[in-house]
A = this chain, B = another copy of it.
C-alpha cells in the first residue's frame, strides 16, 4: 500500500487550479457561503470546465465546497457548530496519530521535529505574542506527527481532507486566542512523549492540547445559545 500523496506539486492544470482556489477560499477571497459559477471560474483561471470540475470534485473532498446535483456548488459556510464537530474529530484522530507516531516514527524524524521546535522557540522569544507565525508552526507540528503515524488512511483524512478546512476556520474566524503562548510547551511535552515511545502519554497530551481549544468553542457556543434563545 502506498501512503497518501499528501502533496503532489502541481503537475496537471487541474492541480494548479485546485491550489489556487483552495488558497482563495481559505483566505476568504472567495467568500464563505458564496455560490460557485463554473463558467466564471473557468474564465478566471483560463482553463476549460473539464479540469475545473475535477478541481471542484477535490474541493468537495476536503469540505471546502458543497455540491448538489444539477444545482451547482457553494463555498461552505462556517459556523461554531461545524468548528466544534471538526475539533471533536481532531481530538480523536490526532490522539490516535500520536499513539501511532510513538510506535512508528523514525528516530530521525523525531530529531528533525525537535530541531524545528527549538527554532520556533527562538523566533517566538524574539517577538512575543506574534500569533501568525505560531499558526504556521502549529499546523506544521501537527502535520508532521500525523505523517509519523504511518497510517495511510489517517494521514489522508487529516492532511488531505481536514487540513484546509482547519486553516480556513483559523483564518476567517481568527482562532488564535490566548492559547498561543501555551502551545509551545504543550508541543514540547507531546514530542518528548513520542521520543520516549510513550504512546499513551502522547495520546493523552494531544487530546488535552486540542481539547482545550474544543472547550473554548463549546463555551462560545454556550454563550451564543444563551444570548440568542431568550430573545
**Are B61 and A61 in contact, CB atoms less than 8 angstroms apart?**
yes
CB neighbours of A157 from chain B (8 A):
89, 157, 161
**Are B89 and A151 in contact, CB atoms less than 8 angstroms apart?**
yes
**Are A100 and B82 in contact, CB atoms less than 8 angstroms apart?**
no
CB neighbours of A77 from chain B (8 A):
1
**Are A154 and B66 in contact, CB atoms less than 8 angstroms apart?**
no
**Are A151 and B92 in contact, CB atoms less than 8 angstroms apart?**
no
**Are B153 and A85 in contact, CB atoms less than 8 angstroms apart?**
yes
CB neighbours of A15 from chain B (8 A):
69
* A31: interface (CB < 8 Å): no
Looking at the complex, which one of B82, B153, B162 makes contact with A152 (CB distance below 8 Å)? Answer: B82
Contact with B along A62-93 (1 / 0, CB 8 A): 01001001100000110101100110110011
Q: With the chains together, A2 CA to B66 CA distance in Å? A: 9
Looking at the complex, which one of B50, B57, B61, B152 makes contact with A85 (CB distance below 8 Å)? Answer: B152
CB neighbours of A100 from chain B (8 A):
88
CB neighbours of A58 from chain B (8 A):
57
Looking at the complex, which one of B53, B81, B93, B162 makes contact with A92 (CB distance below 8 Å)? Answer: B93
* A96: interface (CB < 8 Å): yes
Pull 25 A–B residue pairs with CB atoms less than 8 Å apart, ordered by A: A1-B76, A1-B77, A1-B79, A1-B82, A1-B85, A2-B66, A11-B69, A12-B70, A15-B69, A53-B54, A54-B57, A57-B57, A57-B58, A61-B61, A82-B152, A85-B151, A85-B153, A85-B154, A88-B151, A88-B154, A89-B93, A89-B151, A89-B153, A89-B154, A153-B162
A contacts, CB < 8 Å to B: 1-2, 8, 11-12, 15, 50, 53-54, 57-58, 61, 63, 66, 69-70, 76-77, 79, 81-82, 85-86, 88-89, 92-93, 95-96, 100, 151-154, 156-157, 161-162
